[in-house]
């Protein structure tokens, strides 16, 4: 269990997971890299996807987030509650 775990504020479910920054980075790379295939047929899209791929490390500076398994609600981790 994550040290940032808390019940869902929307539905009060206990099926909550904390997303890791590594997983977020992987998803961004996967989406940008996969979308570059479209760029082979439509070249302006290729340029946009290359820029998007280069910008994916910004994810490392975003705060961690929790995701509810029941209602799919996403919220920022509250570190003050985690320390208590």
User: What are the residues whose beta carbons fall under 8 Å from the beta carbon of 29, sequence distance 6 or more?
Assistant: 53, 56
- Write out pLDDT tens, residues 17-39: 888 888 888 888 888 777 777 77
Alpha carbon separation from 3 to 27, 30, 66, 82 (Å, rounded): 23, 28, 11, 6
Supply the pLDDT for residue 84: 47
* Helix H or strand E encompassing 76: strand 74-76
Instruction: Note the pTM of the prediction, 2 decimals.
Output: 0.58
Supply the pLDDT for residue 82: 47
Tokens 């996969």, located at residue: 34
pLDDT < 50 regions, the chain: 82-84
């Amino acid at each position: 269990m994550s040290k940032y775990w808390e019940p869902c504020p929307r539905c009060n479910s206990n099926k909550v997971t904390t997303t890791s920054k590594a997983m977020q980075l992987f998803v961004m790379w996967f989406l940008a890299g996969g979308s570059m295939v479209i760029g082979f047929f439509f070249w302006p899209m290729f340029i946009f996807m290359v820029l998007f791929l280069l910008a994916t490390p910004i994810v490392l500076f975003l705060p961690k987030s929790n995701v509810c398994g029941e209602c799919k609600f996403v919220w920022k981790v509250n570190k003050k509650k985690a320390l208590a």
